């Protein structure tokens, strides 16, 4: 029998590729229908992001309600985050941030970004000092994605948690039993109490009163969370307690995972640098990794490729292009040419190397321009008077 697929915030495994439809029904979220994407385009007057057009963000909870109220002139805020477990971000890590930046620009709304240094201190057994350092380094990569400082607040848990935020954490924590988190996250009697309590920390930013300097102490503004679908358990829990605390349930828009170079069923692992492209890689490294490690669905020899074409269902260069090649016509051309065998594996790999290097080079330049002062400015708890400005 096939091994059951397991998706939690700490583990993604199964016998083959993730079955995303099954995940939607397991988790109880909804499919992101084309109808909703069309509404986003209509409401924002902007072309749908590549990740929407290609189904990278594919599931949601209550996203439609956010659109309904936005249409009536009601605002919302965005909340996303990152667990700073290492300095080396790979392309998969950038996906939620690239998408959140698009949402922020399109809807003109404020954004809070949680850096869970506390989470990684507990799960990765790193020292407090080391996770704080990593949070700051990661903040630079996040800022390099182009967020608007007049509507973006980045915070580290170690630095920021207190007051309204802590009050919400405690209110959440006393509404969730040990049996509930056991069921949702798989904790057991051996899990230390920090882990058992942590879901309250990740839940708190879903409620506007955690940020009194932004929303005051009474706001009921809606929250929309863009994230990878492995974070869903945290927010299932959050949505469950919200009405009991007099808050609105946060809405979610959720993405697939970015596949490892070795293929859809492989896991990108921080310890295997050949499984992923990192934002710090050089052009040469990117070319080499794609040439040597990207799983190909093309024919084993030139003759076989010409004769049978490529299997695009497993081909990693093609999959990576669906994430990052924005030009729809060019992607269709590649699908035809490569799928039919007129294009060879080496050629599609060259195209991919160019596309990725362009993106990575731009990121590296943007990151170089991020100063310590800018990090301080993004991370300062402050009022943001223009956060809803068009
Ligand atoms: N737990 C997430 C991680 O390990 C970080 C995180 C905190 C997050 N809050 C979030 C991710 C909200 C998405 C949305 O990366």
* DSSP symbol at 257: P
Q: Side by side, which strands form the sheet with 222-228?
A: 30-31, 57-61, 251-255, 222-228, 76-82, 111-115, 152-156
Joined together, the tokens standing for residue 251 give 């809405």
- Whether 266 shows a pLDDT value over 60: the answer reads no
Could you give the 3-state DSSP secondary structure of residue 83?
A: coil
| Lowest mean pLDDT segment, chosen from 79-83, 188-192, 236-240, 261-265 | 261-265
Helix (H) or strand (E) holding 60: strand 57-61
pLDDT value at position 1?
Answer: 45
CB 86 within 8 A of CB 277: no
- Whether 304 shows a pLDDT value over 60: the answer reads yes
pLDDT value at position 2?
Answer: 52
Report the DSSP beta bridge partners of residue 228.
255
Question: pLDDT tens digits for 15-70?
Answer: 678 889 999 999 999 999 999 999 999 999 999 999 999 999 999 999 999 999 99
pLDDT value at position 84?
Answer: 95
Classify residue 365 as exposed, middle or buried by CB count within 10 Å of its CB (0-12, 13-18, 19+).
Answer: exposed
pLDDT value at position 270?
Answer: 59
- Whether 265 shows a pLDDT value over 80: the answer reads no
Query: Which single residue is written with the structure tokens 């170690």?
Result: 158
Distance (Å) from CA 341 to ligand 1 centroid: 41
Atom number of ligand 1 nearest to Cα 227: 13
Give this prediction's pTM. 0.96
Positive or negative, the CA dihedral 14, 19, 23, 26 is negative
Q: What is the mean pLDDT of residues 113-139?
A: 96
- Whether 90 shows a pLDDT value over 70: the answer reads yes
Higher pLDDT, 10 or 193: 193
pLDDT value at position 269?
Answer: 63
Classify residue 350 as exposed, middle or buried by CB count within 10 Å of its CB (0-12, 13-18, 19+).
Answer: middle
- Whether 73 shows a pLDDT value over 70: the answer reads yes
Where residue 123 falls among pLDDT bands split at 50, 70, 90?
very high
Phi-psi region of 186 (alpha: psi -120 to 50; beta: other; left: phi over 0): left
Mean of pLDDT over the chain: 95
Please tell me the residue having the least CA distance from ligand 1 atom 4: 83
d(CA 95, CA 230): 14
> Is ligand 1 within 6 A of the CB of residue 114?
yes
Could you give the 3-state DSSP secondary structure of residue 56?
A: coil
Task: Give the end-to-end CA distance of the chain in Å, rounded to a whole number.
Answer: 55
CA atoms within a 13 Å half-sphere pointing along the CA-CB vector of 262? 10
Q: What is the mean pLDDT of residues 369-375?
A: 98
Pairing of strands 76-82, 57-61: unpaired
Question: pLDDT tens digits for 199-224?
Answer: 999 999 999 999 999 999 988 899 99
The C-alpha angle with vertex 99 and arms to 205 and 226, in degrees rounded to 5, equals: 30
> Is ligand 1 within 6 A of the CB of residue 81?
yes
Ligand 1 probe mutation, 114, 153, 251, most atoms within 8 A of CB:
114
Joined together, the tokens standing for residue 116 give 């869970």
> Is ligand 1 within 6 A of the CB of residue 226?
no
CB 213 within 8 A of CB 381: yes
> Is ligand 1 within 6 A of the CB of residue 227?
yes
């Amino acid at each position: 029998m096939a091994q059951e697929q397991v998706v939690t915030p700490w583990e993604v495994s199964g016998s083959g590729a993730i079955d995303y439809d099954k995940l939607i029904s397991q988790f109880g979220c909804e499919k992101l229908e084309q109808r909703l994407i069309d509404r986003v385009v209509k409401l924002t007057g902007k072309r749908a992001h590549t990740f929407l057009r290609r189904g990278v963000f594919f599931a949601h909870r209550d996203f439609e309600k956010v659109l309904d109220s936005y249409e009536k002139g009601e605002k919302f805020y965005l909340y996303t985050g990152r667990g700073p477990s290492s300095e080396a971000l790979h392309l998969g890590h950038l996906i939620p941030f690239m998408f959140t930046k698009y949402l922020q620009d399109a809807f003109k709304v404020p954004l809070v970004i949680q850096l869970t240094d506390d989470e990684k201190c507990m799960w990765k057994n790193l020292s407090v000092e080391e996770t704080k350092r990593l949070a700051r380094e990661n903040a630079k990569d996040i800022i390099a994605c182009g967020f608007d400082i007049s509507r973006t607040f980045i915070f580290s848990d170690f630095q920021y948690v207190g007051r309204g935020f802590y009050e919400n954490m405690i209110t959440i924590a006393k509404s969730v039993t040990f049996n509930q988190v056991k069921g949702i996250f798989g904790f057991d009697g051996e899990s230390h109490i920090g882990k058992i309590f942590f879901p309250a920390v990740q839940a708190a930013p879903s409620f506007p009163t955690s940020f009194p300097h932004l929303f005051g102490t009474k706001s009921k503004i809606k929250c929309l969370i863009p994230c990878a679908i492995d974070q869903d358990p945290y927010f299932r829990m959050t949505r469950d307690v919200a009405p009991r605390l007099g808050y609105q349930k946060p809405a979610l828009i959720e993405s697939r995972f970015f596949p490892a170079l070795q293929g859809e069923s492989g896991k990108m692992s921080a310890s295997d640098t050949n499984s992923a492209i990192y934002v710090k890689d050089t052009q040469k490294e990117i070319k080499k990794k794609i040439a040597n490690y990207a799983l190909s669905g093309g024919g084993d020899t030139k003759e076989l490729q010409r004769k049978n074409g490529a299997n695009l269902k497993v081909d990693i260069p093609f999959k990576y292009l669906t994430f990052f090649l924005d030009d729809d016509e060019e992607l269709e051309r590649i699908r035809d040419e490569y799928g039919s065998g007129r294009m060879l594996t080496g050629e599609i790999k060259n195209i991919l190397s160019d596309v990725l290097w362009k993106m990575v080079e731009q990121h590296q330049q943007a990151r170089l321009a991020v100063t310590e002062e800018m990090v301080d400015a993004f991370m300062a708890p402050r009022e943001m008077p223009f956060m809803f400005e068009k």
